[in-house]
Amino acid sequence: MSGRVCVVGSFMMDLVANAPRRPFPGETLMGTGFATFLGGKGFNQAVASARAGATTALVGRRGGDEFGTMFHAALRAEGVHPGTVLVDDAVGTGVGLPVVEPDGQNSIIVVPRANLLVDIAQIEGSRQAIAESDVLLLQLELPVSTAVAAAQIARESGVLVVLNPAPSAVLPDSLLECVDILVPNQVELFDLINGPAASPADAAEILHARWGTDLVVTLGGDGVLVLSSTLGTHSFPAHQVVPVDTLGAGDVFCGNLGAELADGKDLLSAVARANAAAALAVTRPGGAVAAPRRAELDAFLSHGRLRSVNPSTASS
Ligand code: RIB
């Protein structure tokens, strides 16, 4: 692997509750388990990218508190370059509050805290790290203005820009015009079209027709859908695994996608590998910590790779 990935993204200490279901308003519900994980979409994607074999840098902001110190140690342990992470002593490290249900599905509240202090000056100060990478990975847990600034630097420098539009937000034209590949999940896809669609496939068609950006839609148990102006439409079935925790699966997907693209792989090969990495990740708890290392993923794939299906050529 020779690729370089720069992630501009968040740190969130995940305080995870396992519960039979999400509580209703006014209800107190007994949970069945609790765990803490180092998370945040930026951190998760950076770790997944590094474990996939890419040289990985992370631009972000953490607190000077105990959570922040744990992130610092973890970045070093995972081989993610922490040189562009700033520390804020007044505002605490971001926190995530996921609820994981028995089928592994999750829903999350994030309180970004120090993540919201990432500003244009920090992005400018990270210009070299962004410009020297092959792929820039972005999400939306930092101020959108910083994603725009990072994407513009990448675009000027010929760096491929991959945006995971999570959590959902209105995407300004100044961001969209710099994005090469958009990677929403189903919820984010429907938020982005902001109108009716009969199915995720229809919603993806609408979005692709509207913006022309290559789309990679992650659909959990329904696999992955790719709509590309140059490669056409392709559907990747989900690998058959028993999910215990889907937390961060999309991040593992994005980190592996970025690493493969940075290594020069074509989009469909990169998606196939990212799809397998996410499948492995949902078989164990946590986000970043569940990301497979390259050798493990190689072994998983050698047991039988699932190929993509082009709906226009597939027989019924
Ligand atoms: O995508 C999963 C991540 O989203 C969690 O780690 C949580 O912190 C939120 O950022």
Whole-number pLDDT of residue 304 = 58
Please state, in angstroms and rounded to a whole number, the distance separating the CA atoms of residues 5 and 310.
29
Cβ–ligand 1 contact at 99 (below 6 Å): no
Asked whether the beta carbons of 250 and 164 are under 8 A apart, the reply is yes
Give 313 Cα–ligand 1 centroid separation in angstroms.
37
What single string gives the DSSP state of each residue in 102-134? TTS-EEEEEE-GGGGG--HHHHHHTHHHHHT-S
pTM of the model: 0.95
**By alpha-carbon position, which residue is closest to atom 9 of ligand 1?**
40
For tokens 């631009």, name the residue: 59
Substitution site in 108, 183, 246 for ligand 1 pocket (most atoms within 8 Å of beta carbon): 108
* 250 pocket-lining for ligand 1 (C-beta < 6 Å): yes
DSSP state of 179: -
Ligand 1 atom closest to 106 (CA): 2
- What is the structure's pLDDT at 1? 82
* CA 141 to ligand 1: nearest atom: 10
Parallel/antiparallel/unpaired status of strands 4-8 and 232-236:
unpaired
Residue 78: its pLDDT value, please?
A: 98
Return the pLDDT at 114.
Answer: 98
- How far is CA 87 from each of CA 68, 133, 140, 213, 276, rounded to the nearest angstrom? 8, 23, 20, 35, 35
Cα–Cα dist 260/85, whole Å: 24
93 Cα: distance to centroid of ligand 1 (angstroms)? 13
Return d(Cα 211, Cα 179) in angstroms, integer.
Answer: 10
Q: Is 285 in the pocket of ligand 1 (CB under 6 A)?
A: no
Spell 282-310 as b/e; 16+ CB within 10 A means b: bbebbbbbbbbebeebeebbeeeebebee
Per-residue model confidence (pLDDT) at position 303: 80
User: Of all helices (H) and strands (E), which one includes residue 299?
Assistant: helix 294-302
Which atom, in ligand 1's list, is nearest to the CA of 247? 2
Residue 225 identity: L
Enclosing H/E stretch for 84:
strand 81-88
Q: Are 84 and 133 in contact (CB under 8 A)?
A: no
Report the distance separating Cα 9 and Cα 315, nearest Å. Answer: 42
Q: Give 136's contacts (C-beta < 8 A, 6+ positions apart).
A: 5, 6, 7, 8, 130, 150, 151, 154, 159, 160, 161, 162
Query: Probe ligand 1: pick from 70, 247, 282, max atoms within 8 Å of CB?
Result: 247
3-state SS class at 45? helix
Q: Tens digit of pLDDT per residue, the chain (316 long)?
A: 889 999 999 999 999 999 999 999 999 999 999 999 999 999 999 999 999 999 999 999 999 999 999 999 999 999 999 889 999 999 999 999 999 999 989 999 999 999 999 999 999 999 999 999 999 999 999 999 999 999 999 999 999 999 999 999 999 999 999 999 999 999 999 999 999 999 999 999 999 999 999 999 999 999 999 999 999 999 999 999 999 999 999 999 999 999 999 999 999 999 999 999 999 999 999 999 999 999 999 999 998 544 445 544 333 2
Q: Indicate the helix (H) or strand (E) that contains 308.
A: none
Give the residue whose CA is nearest to atom 1 of ligand 1: 248
Report residue 40 as tokens.
Answer: 């945040």
